[in-house]
Structure 1
């Protein structure tokens, strides 16, 4: 029997010292996977050379996230640029943007901004 694959969050993949002040979780499912992959590539291009880290597609639910997703991490000075880009480019995908204060429950609830239909979170995983 094969062990379940574990996926790393951007916090584990971002370059050392990367200023992670905000996360954007961009959710997808089987029917929107190709659009999400395309959006990820667009993000890599749009924010090239800036302090924006775009993670890999995570094809399974992980942590509190109940759907596949990918993350975009960014510092406070780029909040407006990244969020407005997501507003324009996300299509029908759901997005959760949240601050990173160190309090995961607060970050995913009160310090969160949602675009599109809300994806239920597993708060017990926080």
Structure 2
């Protein structure tokens, strides 16, 4: 059974325009940096339609290493992505559209900030 994780310790509100996702990856050596970035994201986007997920301490789905997510609508794309570009340090970030086609979203509708993490694409089949 696959684990589920909540966002900001709660589920996304009904009707939230979840059009984009950013996965921020970390290893044990970069855990403190990732926790700090997550805390800063919560402060930075407070009051906006941007949700910062909890730390996911293990590989899940196609993601081979721990991560946390930031979910946001198109109206905040530039703001979130520019913020991540400047604040991510050496953490790898995958930003992708959410079309309902997971393989497409994580490949053709995706962009990387920093080095790409090799995803487990076979999880989408």
Q: Same fold (TM over 0.5)?
A: yes
Separation of aligned partners in 1, 2:75 and 2:24 = 20
The aligned length equals 122
Shift of 1:6: 2.1
The equivalent of 1:107 in structure 2 is 105
The equivalent of 2:3 in structure 1 is 6
Separation of aligned partners in 1, 2:18 and 2:61 = 18
Output one character per residue of 1:12-70: Cα deviation in whole Å (capped at 9) or x when no partner. Answer: 93122111000000000000001100100000000000000000000000000001000
Equivalent position SS for 2:28: coil
Q: Which runs of 5+ in 2 are unaligned?
A: none
2:85 to 84, 87, 101: 87
TM-score normalised by length of structure 2: 0.93
Equivalent position SS for 1:58: coil
Q: For residues 9 and 97 of structure 1, do their structure 2 counterparts lie closer, same or farther at Cα, with a shift above 3 Å needed?
A: farther
Q: How does 1:1-126 map to 2 (within 5 A)?
A: 6-8=3-5, 10=7, 13-126=11-124
TM-score normalised by length of structure 1: 0.92
Q: For residues 30 and 5 of structure 1, do their structure 2 counterparts lie closer, same or farther at Cα, with a shift above 3 Å needed?
A: farther
Q: Which runs of 5+ in 1 are unaligned?
A: none
Shift of 1:82: 0.2
| Deviant stretches of 4+, over 6 Å | none
Shift of 1:124: 1.1
